Amino acid sequence: MMDEVNKLSNVLDTLQAVLPTEHFLPLHEPLFRGNENKYVKECIDTGWVSSVGKFVDRFEEDLAAYTGVKRAVAVANGTSALHICLILAGVKPEDEVLVPALTFIATANAVVYCQAVPHFVDSCYETLGLDPDKLRDYLREIAEIKNGACYNRKTGRRISAVVPMHTFGHPVDMDKVNALAEEYHLVVVEDCAESIGSFYKGKHTGNFGLVSAMSFNGNKTITTGGGGAVLTNDDDMGKLAKHLTTQAKIPHKWEFRHDMVGYNYRMPNINAALGCAQLEELPEFLAKKRALAEKYRKVFEGNESVDFFIEPDFAKSNYWFNALLLKPELAHMRDRLLALLNDSNIMSRPIWNLMYTLEMYKDCPRMECSTAEDVGRRLVNIPSSVVLGE
């Protein structure tokens, strides 16, 4: 036991050698050094603080230009973005949607908002995201194609979509996901909540599904305070996303006309103003976050207690959250490491509880998830703020 405690102390010593620990270090704090004050003040001075204003339009245009998609629609948060994406993907009540067991709860919750059923699948060590190879083997066992649609033989329900989530900004192998989706007639909805500034084979995440969802929560690489976006390369999908997220209101000078059940998912202008300023700073943010990740990689190289998680070969990650994986033989010491780091002014936390371990999702269909379970026992997130890369 003493040898194991010493190994954990070594992790702390290594972090303290590269981090300023005279005050408590959060996992990820926002950085406002650009035009944030100027743009927000303009909103206040002009009175355009709500869901209409020039910064909403500009943020959507700038975001689309940066990511390379045809259309971006700014919304209230990443969860609402994902909800709209699933509606656009044609997910119907009682459908099953394939989502990682190892993900933030919003991925599963958005499926339930559509009155559909999350079907949990395993992750892989290479990306921490959905494992397309293992999923293909699983679908060969439980799925059948009828009338051009995929069905679960065991439940009789249609499996309509698959939602790869780019964990901590590390892109999933989207070529394999798309090949799998084509084989099994599934719609791909990318959960890009954590991956602004991440690229798969040279192309920004969010370009590989029919629709994609982003988040700009306060702890994301760039923030609008609270906010998200729907991305798509389909112009009609983009128009429909804008319509649905603005209460499905038909433009008119004075009348309130609505032609669908819509949602009040609009991003306020004052939040979009923050987003415009943050997007201007994004290249610098990414450079500093990657510099921090490289610093971590070097100091933990050859460490006998933990491995620092690095991006897959086919991707360039934003390293939103940096992660350590305890050696398998030290997995039982994870909570002791978390206590040690947090007590030493270094915020750390475990990865999310697997979705099927939560009460409301315990009876949902799932495949064997041994990799997700192993990662869940061993992963610890460590401080990842932009300023730490300076």
Sheet holding 315-316, edge to edge: 203-204, 199-200, 315-316
Does 115 map to a domain?
yes
pLDDT for 51:
82
Does 360 map to a domain?
no
Cα separation of 17 and 1, whole Å? 25
Cα separation of 331 and 378, whole Å? 5
Angle between helices 2-18 and 334-343 in degrees, nearest 10: 40
How confident is residue 22, by pLDDT bands cut at 50, 70 and 90?
Answer: confident
Say yes or no: 217 and 192 in one domain.
yes
Say yes or no: 262 and 143 in one domain.
yes
* Residue 41 identity (one-letter amino acid): K
CATH at residue 202: 3.40.640.10
Say yes or no: 195 and 334 in one domain.
no
Number of residues that make up the chain: 390
Residue 352 has pLDDT above 70, yes or no: yes
* DSSP sequence for 184-195: TT-EEEEE-TT-
Cα separation of 306 and 9, whole Å? 12
8-state DSSP, 56: H
Does 345 map to a domain?
yes
Say yes or no: 219 and 230 in one domain.
yes
The mean per-residue pLDDT over the stretch 145-152 comes to: 97
Say yes or no: 228 and 246 in one domain.
yes
Q: What is the per-residue pLDDT across 235-252, written as a single tens digit (0 to 9) for each? A: 999 999 999 999 999 988
CATH at residue 10: 3.90.1150.10
Per-residue exposure over 343-367, b if at least 16 CB sit within 10 Å of its own CB, e if not: ebebbbeebbebbbeeeebeebbbb
Q: What is the CA radius of gyration of the chain?
A: 21
Please answer whether residues 143 and 183 qualify as being in contact, where contact means their C-beta atoms are separated by less than 8 angstroms.
Answer: no
Does 170 map to a domain?
yes
Does 363 map to a domain?
no
Cα separation of 313 and 311, whole Å? 7
The mean per-residue pLDDT over the stretch 309-336 comes to: 98
Does 361 map to a domain?
no
Cα separation of 21 and 121, whole Å? 38
Cα separation of 112 and 11, whole Å? 40
Last residue of a domain, one of 280, 310, 339: 280
The residue assigned the tokens 């050859």 is 302
Last residue of a domain, one of 240, 256, 280: 280
The mean per-residue pLDDT over the stretch 82-91 comes to: 98
Say yes or no: 111 and 247 in one domain.
yes
Question: Among residues of the chain, what percentage have pLDDT more than 90?
Answer: 95
pLDDT for 2:
61
Say yes or no: 64 and 198 in one domain.
yes
* Residue 109 host element (H or E): helix 105-113
The mean per-residue pLDDT over the stretch 290-300 comes to: 98
Say yes or no: 120 and 240 in one domain.
yes
The number of distinct structural domains making up the chain is 2
* Residue 244 host element (H or E): helix 235-245
Q: What is the per-residue pLDDT across 231-290, written as a single tens digit (0 to 9) for each? A: 999 999 999 999 999 999 998 889 999 999 999 999 999 999 999 999 999 999 999 999
Please answer whether residues 117 and 365 qualify as being in contact, where contact means their C-beta atoms are separated by less than 8 angstroms.
Answer: yes
Does 220 map to a domain?
yes
Reduce the secondary structure of 290-345 to three states and give it as a string.
Answer: HHHHHHHHHHHCCCCCEEECCCCCCEECCCCCEEEEECHHHHHHHHHHHHHHHHCC
Residue 172 has pLDDT above 90, yes or no: yes
Does 122 map to a domain?
yes
pLDDT for 1:
64
Say yes or no: 275 and 341 in one domain.
no
Report angle CA 337, 339, 345 to the nearest 5 degrees.
105
Say yes or no: 326 and 241 in one domain.
no
Say yes or no: 120 and 234 in one domain.
yes
Say yes or no: 64 and 151 in one domain.
yes
**Domain of 180, in residue numbers:** 36-280
Last residue of a domain, one of 230, 263, 280: 280
